[in-house]
Amino acid sequence: AIAPQDTRDDVAVQIDGVSKSFSGTVALEPIRLKVRRGEFLTLLGPSGCGKTTLLNLIAGFLEADEGELFIDRDLVTQVPPHQRKIGIVFQNYALFPHMSVAQNVAYGLRTRRVPKAETAERVREVLALVKLEDFADRRPRQLSGGQQQRVALARALVVRPRVLLLDEPFSALDRNLRSAMQVELREIQSRLGLTTVFVTHDQSEALSMSDRIAVMSRGRIRQIGTPSQIYDRPENHFVSTFVGDANLFAATLLEKTDATASLDIGKTRLSLTTFQEELPEPGPVTLFVRPEQCSLTGLDQPGAIAATVALSVYQGSYAELHLDCSVAENGRVMLRVPASEAMEPGTNVGIALPERGPAIYTTTERET
Ligand code: ATP
- The ipTM, to two decimals, is 0.95
The CATH fold of domain 246-365: OB fold (Dihydrolipoamide Acetyltransferase, E2P) (2.40.50)
Q: Looking at residues 113-123, what average pLDDT do you find? A: 92
- Count CB-CB contacts under 10 A for residue 331: 11
* Range(s) of the chain covered by CATH 3.40.50.300: 11-232
Among residues 251, 249, 245, which one has the least CA distance to residue 328? 249
pTM of the model: 0.90
pLDDT band at 170 (very low <50, low <70, confident <90, very high): confident
Pairing of strands 260-265, 268-273: antiparallel
Give the residue, by CA position, lying nearest to ligand 1 atom 29.
22
Does the beta carbon of 196 lie inside 6 Å of ligand 1? Answer: no
The pLDDT, as a whole number, for residue 4 is 55
Q: How high does pLDDT run on average in the chain? A: 92
The pLDDT, as a whole number, for residue 7 is 47
Cα separation values, 177 from 169, 172, 180, 183, 291, Å = 12, 10, 5, 10, 29
The pLDDT, as a whole number, for residue 229 is 96
What homologous superfamily is domain 11-232 in, according to CATH? P-loop containing nucleotide triphosphate hydrolases (3.40.50.300)
The pLDDT, as a whole number, for residue 368 is 45
Beta strands in the chain (DSSP E): 11-22, 25-36, 40-44, 66-71, 74-75, 86-89, 163-167, 196-200, 212-217, 220-225, 247-257, 260-265, 268-273, 283-289, 295-297, 305-314, 318-324, 332-338, 348-352, 359-362
Going from the Cα of 189 to the center of ligand 1, the distance in angstroms, rounded, reads: 27
Q: Looking at residues 254-273, what average pLDDT do you find? A: 93
Going from the Cα of 25 to the center of ligand 1, the distance in angstroms, rounded, reads: 10
Q: Which atom of ligand 1 is nearest to the CA of 219?
A: 14
Does the beta carbon of 52 lie inside 6 Å of ligand 1? Answer: yes
Give the residue, by CA position, lying nearest to ligand 1 atom 30.
22
Query: Has residue 181 got a pLDDT over 90?
Result: no
Q: Looking at residues 41-45, what average pLDDT do you find? A: 97
The pLDDT, as a whole number, for residue 179 is 87
* Range(s) of the chain covered by CATH 2.40.50.140: 246-365
Query: Has residue 203 got a pLDDT over 90?
Result: yes
